[in-house]
Structure 1
Amino acid sequence: MTRKNFLQKYALRIAAILAMLGLIVYTVAHAMDFAMGNVLTTPVRRITDTQITSAQGYLFRNEEVLTTTGTGLVDTLVENGTKVGKNVSVAKVWSTAASGDALAAAQLKLSRINRAIRILEDSQLKAGTPLSEANKYRAEYTALYREISAATEAGRLDQIPALEEKLLVALNRYVSLVGETNETKEHLQALREEKEDLLGAASSVEIKSEISSGLFYDGGYVDGFESAFSTAALENLTPESLHTLIESTPKVPDGQTVGKLVYGYEWYLALELSPSVASGFFAGREYRFTFPENNDTEAVLTLERTVAGEGTVLAVFRCEDHPNDFLFYREQTVEIVVGETEGFYIPESALVTEGNLMGVYVFEESTVRFRQAHIIWMGEGYAIAELPGEGSSTELAENDILIVSGSDLYEGKVYR
């Protein structure tokens, strides 16, 4: 085959190969040019962003500490958080000759007996409960075990006792259904006899809700700030007076502390916000709160008012709900949903200014173009840009190739 015939026969194939080689050379050179310029890009995406602000809140309620003269063994008659009517007995204080460490040991023993009795009483099943319920209780105690493990890993140790009680109740119910014998009643009787032996023939004093109905909590919930952090103290509260309350010394009335009564369902949180953050809050509006150190409990609180201070703003929120398993500690870490914004996500490094316009650079057919971006929210390391109007060619659009970072960028720069 002559050279001429060879070229005629394979001309199209050779041309295709040369074109492909040219494309490869162009692509490699183009990529090298990008690499040399350290250009980083990403497609523009629409998102819905939730803005959250964090703060330390302080709990205000109408509370009365219940005390008794002298000392003795405190036997609570109702569970924590139970609503009791007026003149209802909430505890008995049994006289004893023990004092100091001996009294503390006896009180601890009584508390443990009461807890065991409460668990076994809750563990009792109704007559005729079918065996099929066993799977439900097994699933309950398995889930509670995982919840206890998660709380332990997160350091939420104050939540574990209540979770343990629920787990033991579910486990006891399961065993009662699948086990050969059910000794719950026998164990209950033994515990009640042990409690009688501990209290003996001592006399007792009943502690009642004398003022009005309320929610009862035992002495473990008394922190000494009940009178300081009252709803009356909220009336003239300022950022400065809040600091004074926080730094004050706890005070408990004379006598032995039995527990406390909380009057009314309303509770308040007072917290400080920066002026810029506070400008987005409005009195009378509801806000979603999360309590990350309180089992991630969620609640809706209403903003009552704000009070400006020196470089800070006091915000007072109100709530009437009592979330399940919520621990009403005086100090609460909170996360508040400020708002939700829909728009284009822009890394902060991509923002540029041309003239007096804020915007970004994008690639359009290998050419750098400036696109105006109306920023409606600045987050930590990012911004949210407003969605463009219909048919806009000068504003940022979805799926534009956004230049996140690069050197020597300007409108009209061509990458070849």
Structure 2
Amino acid sequence: MVTNSSNKMTNILLVLLSVSVIATIGTILYHFVDTSYQTETAIRATADESKIFDGVYVRNETVLTYSGSGAVSYQVPDGGKIASGDVIAEVYPDESAIESQQKIDALQEKLDVLERISNPGTLEQAQPADLSRQITQYYKEAVGYKDQMNLTSAKEAEQQFLEAYSTYQIVISKGSVSFADQISSLNSEIADLKAGQSAPVGTVTSDASAYFVSHVDGYETTFSAQHLDEVTPEQLSQAIANPTKPNQTEDLGQSNVIGKSIAEYGWYMMGMIDNKDQKYQVGDQVTIRLLNASAEAPATIQELRTVENSDQVMVVLYSDTLTSDFVQNRTDHVEMILGEYEGIKVPRDAIRFKDVEETETDEETGKKTTKTVNARGVYVQDGEKIEFRRLDVIYEGKDYVLSKLHADDGYLMLYDSIIVEGIDAIGN
């Protein structure tokens, strides 16, 4: 009987142990399935509140002409800045005279370089180690600018490279290398060319401080500041589709047009934007960014003009910051930036709502009151704990939001593990 009782007790214990093991395994499996969340680390991100559109420039432009006939030699590059009285162009009897002047200018440039690096004062101060570093630097700059198709800067870097390299040759040779013969030859060649050179028959000068552009597009009158209120959406569309009119000089009534000057003060940009959400208002300070050149200028929204039979509005921007990047074209593909935001990036799919208690303090009496609010936030995983963290949204993107960087308890913080999938199992 004792043996039977002992066997029964053993069997009962084995059953209980089996049930316990099965329950433990079941619990583990349940938690494994139920709490296998997919998480995403809360990281810092930035975003722009902006609109991208094709902008049309409206500026104070003066068409420049010359009387008579001849070949024009420009003295100022496109987009170059000019002061009052500066010579913009010289007019020669024919193209051969211009070619002769161009040869003289090129030879004179070489002569100036050789005379500069042969100057005793320059050689006394030159150090081989410094020159070696400059040679490497200018070479890398020249290659980089060529890759960027910035030919003007590439040429300048090449010139600096040649100067540094030639000076290095003279310094390390300790006087055995000389450019005296080349200097003499260049002086002689320049003198011969000047002797047979034709003088310019006329010049075109600037009557005010401005930027110079060597071409006209036929819209100088249409898109002038004086006619700002008369510009129509159709005119904007025409300029965007055809930035240059086919017969622009005829439209201007000029035959000897050599370009135009653009006043270096206030200018406008106009374009069509969607503003259904009313995010943009007259008086807003924005930034105009050229998408093709990465140049920027501050501007103010001067007008949001309603357009009949259109869901869009005509935006009129004003800026008093002008650089060469903003005078090259009649139209540009631009981004109008209203604000730049920085915060914690949160996927929209992870956002949930939960009733939380919120305490407010009356500033006058100091009395504290507690109320329940339905807060927007996310669930985060902290080890085995699941916690709800509130969001302070400062920017709304298409599939994400940015939450303000907070140090307060209860708010989402950097590097929290945001649960993006699986949280619905515990409810909202």
* AA aligned opposite 1:234: L
> What residue in structure 2 maps to residue 82 of structure 1?
81
SS in 1 for 2:395: strand
Q: Are 1:242 and 2:236 matched, yes or no? A: yes
Q: Please list the CA deviations of residues 154-182 of structure 1 after superposition, one character each: whole Å capped at 9, or x if unmatched.
A: xxxxx42x123312331232244224344
Query: Alpha-carbon deviation of 1:238?
Result: 5.0
Aligned to 1:215: 210
Do 2:56 and 2:239's aligned partners in 1 also have CA atoms closer than 8 Å?
A: no
Which residue in the other structure is 1:18 paired with?
A: none
Deviation at 1:65, TM superposition (A): 2.3
Q: Write the distance in 2 (CA, Å) between the matches of 1:289 and 1:149.
A: 27
Q: TM-score normalized by structure 2?
A: 0.67
Report the CA distance between 1:402 and its aligned residue. Answer: 1.4
Residues 347 and 362 of structure 1: is their aligned pair in 2 closer, same or farther, counting only changes over 3 Å? same
State TM-score, norm by structure 1. Answer: 0.69
How far has the Cα of 1:45 moved from its partner?
A: 4.1
Contact 1:368 1:411 survives alignment (8 Å): no
Q: Any residues of structure 2 matched to 1:377-392 within 5 Å, and which?
A: 377-386=395-404, 390-392=408-410
Q: Which residue does the alignment assign to 1:41? A: 39
Q: Secondary structure at the match of 1:333?
A: strand
TM-superposition CA deviations, 1:261-293 (whole Å, max 9, x none): 2234333322333205762455162x3343242
Q: Is the 8 A contact 1:122 1:169 kept in 2?
A: no
For residue 121 of structure 1, report the CA deviation from its aligned partner.
7.5
Residue pair 1:281, 1:338 contacting (<8 A) in 2 also: no
1:125 aligned onto 2:116: yes
Which of 161, 179, 201 is residue 204 of structure 1 equivalent to? 201
Tell me the number of residue pairs that the alignment of Structure 1 and Structure 2 aligns.
364
Match of 2:303 among 305, 308, 320: 305
Q: Alpha carbon RMSD of aligned pairs, Å?
A: 4.3
8 Å CA contact retained: 1:74, 1:107:
no
Which whole-Å CA distance do the structure 1 matches of 2:143 and 2:271 have between them?
33
What's the secondary structure of 1:85's corresponding residue? coil
- Give SS of 1:279's match: coil
In structure 2, what is the equivalent of residue 227 of structure 1?
221
How far 1:192 sits from its partner (Å)?
A: 7.5
Which runs of 5 or more structure 2 residues have no equivalent in the other structure?
A: 1-21, 170-176, 356-373
One-letter amino acid of the counterpart of residue 58, structure 1: V
CA distance in 1, matches of 2:320, 2:100: 34
Deviation at 1:108, TM superposition (A): 8.7
SS of residue in 1 equivalent to 2:266: strand
Aligned pairs for 1:278-293 within 5 A: 279-283=279-283, 285=285, 287-293=286-292
| Alignment deviations for residues 333-383 of structure 1 (CA, whole Å, 9 cap, x no partner) | 323432233443201332346798654344466576655545432224321
Contact 1:77/1:92 (CA < 8 Å) preserved in 2?
Answer: yes
Within 1, Cα distance between the matches of 2:342 and 2:234?
Answer: 37
Q: How far did residue 76 of structure 1 move?
A: 2.4
Match of 1:166 among 156, 161, 165: 156
Deviations 1:64-97 (A, max 9, x none): 22233564221223454232325x543222223x
Match of 1:73 in 2: 71
Report whether the alignment pairs 1:360 with 2:378.
yes
1:373/1:270 Cα in 2 relative to 1: closer, same or farther (>3 Å)? Answer: same
Instruction: Tell me the percent identity.
Output: 22
For 1:389 and 1:357, the matched residues in 2 are separated by 18
Task: Tell me if the contact between 1:89 and 1:208 (Cα under 8 Å) persists in the aligned partners.
Answer: yes
Change (3 A) 1:371 1:391: closer
Please state if 1:403 is matched with 2:403.
Answer: no
Change (3 A) 1:368 1:301: same
Decide whether aligned partners of structure 1 residues 224 and 181 sit closer, same or farther in structure 2, where only a CA change above 3 A counts.
Answer: farther
2:363 match:
none
Alpha-carbon spacing, 1:49–1:164, altered in 2? closer, same or farther (3 Å): closer
**2:159 partner letter:** V
- Extract unaligned runs of 5+ from structure 1: 1-21, 97-102, 153-158
1:321-400 equivalences in 2 (<5 Å): 321-323=321-323, 328-352=328-352, 358-363=376-381, 366=384, 373-386=391-404, 390-392=408-410, 396=412, 400=416
Larger Rg: 2
- Residue type of the alignment partner of 2:227: A
1:79 & 1:326 partners in 2: Cα distance?
A: 15
Aligned to 2:91: 93
2:255 aligned with 1:255: yes
**Letter of the 2:226 counterpart:** A
The one-letter code of the counterpart of 2:378 is V
Shift in Å, 1:331 = 2.0
* 2:203 alignment partner AA: E
Do the aligned partners of 2:92 and 2:98 also contact (CA within 8 Å) in 1? Answer: no
Check whether the contact 2:379–2:423 (CA below 8 A) recurs between aligned residues: no
1:313-324 equivalences under 5 Å are 313-323=313-323
CA distance in 1, matches of 2:392, 2:166: 65
8 Å Cα contact 1:303/1:317 also seen in 2: yes
Task: Give the aligned residue type for 1:84.
Answer: A
